[in-house]
Amino acid sequence: MGNLRSVQKAFERIGVEADICQNPSELSNASRVVLPGVGGFRDAIQALRGHGFVNAIEDFIATKKPFLGICLGLQLLFDVSYEDGQWEGLGIFPGQVVRFDEHAELKIPHIGWNTLHTKTDCPLFSQIPQDSFFYFVHSYYAIPKDNKLTSGVCDYGCDFTASVTKGNIFATQFHPEKSQRWGLQLLKNFATMGGTP
């Protein structure tokens, strides 16, 4: 949904080969999987279901190999989104995706650079300074039922979950592929989890 090539190019910049999967069966041979996304939740989840990727994603996550969701890819991991209706997500994590409250001083969508405060010793943020800037583009954000899932928070009228981590599953609400130095470091950290990419 939208930014597959930009994510692929970001991996190329750090010297990592990344293929865009056209068929769900390709995931079974992958050493790591990234689920990026730009656009609406409904269209994205329908596309994943329509092309048979839901079971393939679940099967890949069960292998315990590293998995990374980006932006909409984070939101899709949760039970339900209330973006233009109510839509069932992948249900990997319990929780919901909601819209930012209207705020007189803040525009929606949240677009641009903002600081990320990491809450845990997450390997995704290795060698990245606390409160580094990352690039966001979104009107909705996830509220996990389990606060322990949240590995990073950002302030935009409220503190919201900007990244989640559990086991081999990582996801960011921001776009590392658009976040210059620290975004590329994050992708490098992900690409080298478990050994050489």
Cα distance between residue 3 and residue 104, in whole Å = 30
- Compute the residue count for the chain: 197
Active site residue 138: no
Q: Bridge-partner residues for 144, per DSSP?
A: 95
Catalytic residue chosen out of the listed positions 17, 58, 71, 122: 71
In the block, which residue shows the tokens 């315990």? 64
The C-alpha atoms of residue 57 and residue 68 are separated, in whole angstroms, by 11
Cα–Cα dist 45/30, whole Å: 21
How far is CA 96 from each of CA 78, 119, 160, 161, rounded to the nearest angstrom? 6, 20, 12, 11
Is 177 noted as a catalytic residue in this protein?
yes
53, 22 in Cβ contact below 8 A? no
**Does residue 83 contact residue 140 with C-beta atoms inside 8 Å?**
yes
175 counts as catalytic:
yes
Active site residues: 71, 175, 177
